[in-house]
């Protein structure tokens, strides 16, 4: 595998992203290290090839956003919207993630080793998000499909206005949002959870330690008896 390195103290981010978008896809197996990111925004956003990218430090807003097929590792923490609108591939944040991690993500796997802020996995559309720590309030708000796994605790209004996504929480939940309720942990849910834990590096954690949450399906269509829940 070919390996390249860029230093953002010497090379403008625009040039690095241009290389990742236009030149890197034609190079076959490629590993790129981006040094001294210093919280720059939109690092490695819009990848559209199976490129391995390591952001060696802290990333700003929308790192690895719109990822398609890339394997992105952030060795530090990430700002708002990491892996936002991800379509496929893997994004791994070794530190913490700020608000709206994995927002609207359609596919792929987002791994966060630390905590995630407010609205983690908001409007999730099919991706999988595994958080090693805790998540903030309104996580999985309007999540439509996919899975959110939280090894720590969850803040207020978890799964508010949830559609068909699954939420697995190992710790405590401060409160559930409208139309989110506890669900049985069946064989299918256990298998899904065990697979995600293994893929995220938590194979030693038992699915039996988690509680499953899903939609009560009362908000799909307006009904006057449910008006107080809107």
The alpha-helical segments, DSSP class H, found in the chain are 13-18, 187-199
In the prediction, which pLDDT does 20 show? 96
In the prediction, which pLDDT does 224 show? 55
CB-hemisphere CA count at 13 Å for 47? 34
Note whether 42 and 64 are within 8 A (CB).
no
Q: What is the pTM of this model?
A: 0.94
In the prediction, which pLDDT does 227 show? 56
* Selection from 100, 209, 203 nearest residue 152 by Cα: 209
Give the CATH number for residue 196: 2.160.20.60
In the prediction, which pLDDT does 29 show? 83
Total structural domains within the chain: 1
Residue 132 region, left (φ>0) first, then alpha (ψ -120 to 50), else beta? alpha
3-state secondary structure of 168: strand
Write out the chain's pLDDT in tens, 230 residues.
778 999 999 999 999 999 999 998 887 788 999 999 999 999 999 999 999 999 999 999 999 999 999 999 999 999 999 999 999 999 999 999 999 999 999 999 999 999 999 999 999 999 999 999 999 999 999 999 999 999 999 999 999 999 999 999 999 999 999 999 999 999 999 999 999 999 999 999 999 999 999 999 987 665 656 556 55
Note whether 121 and 104 are within 8 A (CB).
no
Domain that holds residue 80: 2-229
Provide the Cα torsion 220, 222, 225, 230; round to 10°.
80
What is the spatial distance between Cα 131 and Cα 150, in angstroms, rounded to a whole number? 5
Provide the Cα torsion 177, 185, 144, 221; round to 10°.
-60
Note whether 94 and 63 are within 8 A (CB).
no
CB-hemisphere CA count at 13 Å for 80? 3
């Amino acid at each position: 595998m070919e390996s390249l390195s860029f230093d953002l103290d010497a090379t403008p981010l625009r040039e690095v992203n241009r290389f990742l978008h236009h030149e890197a896809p034609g190079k076959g197996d490629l590993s790129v290290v981006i040094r001294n990111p210093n919280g720059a925004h939109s690092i490695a956003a819009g990848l559209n090839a199976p490129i391995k990218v390591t952001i060696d430090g802290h990333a700003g807003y929308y790192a690895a956003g719109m990822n398609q097929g890339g394997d992105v590792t952030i060795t530090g923490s990430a700002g708002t919207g990491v892996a936002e609108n991800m379509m496929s591939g893997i994004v791994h944040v070794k530190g913490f993630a700020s608000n709206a991690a994995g927002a609207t993500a359609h596919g792929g796997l987002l791994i966060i080793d630390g905590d995630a802020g407010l609205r983690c996995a908001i409007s999730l559309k099919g991706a999988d998000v595994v958080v090693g720590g805790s998540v903030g309030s309104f996580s999985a708000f309007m999540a439509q499909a996919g899975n959110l796994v939280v090894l720590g605790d969850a803040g207020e209004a978890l799964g508010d206005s949830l559609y068909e996504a699954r939420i697995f929480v190992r710790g405590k939940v401060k409160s559930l949002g409208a139309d989110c309720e506890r669900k049985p942990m069946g064989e299918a849910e256990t298998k899904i959870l065990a697979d995600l834990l293994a893929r995220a590096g938590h194979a030693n954690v038992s699915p039996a330690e988690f509680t499953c949450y899903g939609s009560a399906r009362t908000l799909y269509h307006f009904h006057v008896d449910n008006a107080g829940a809107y």
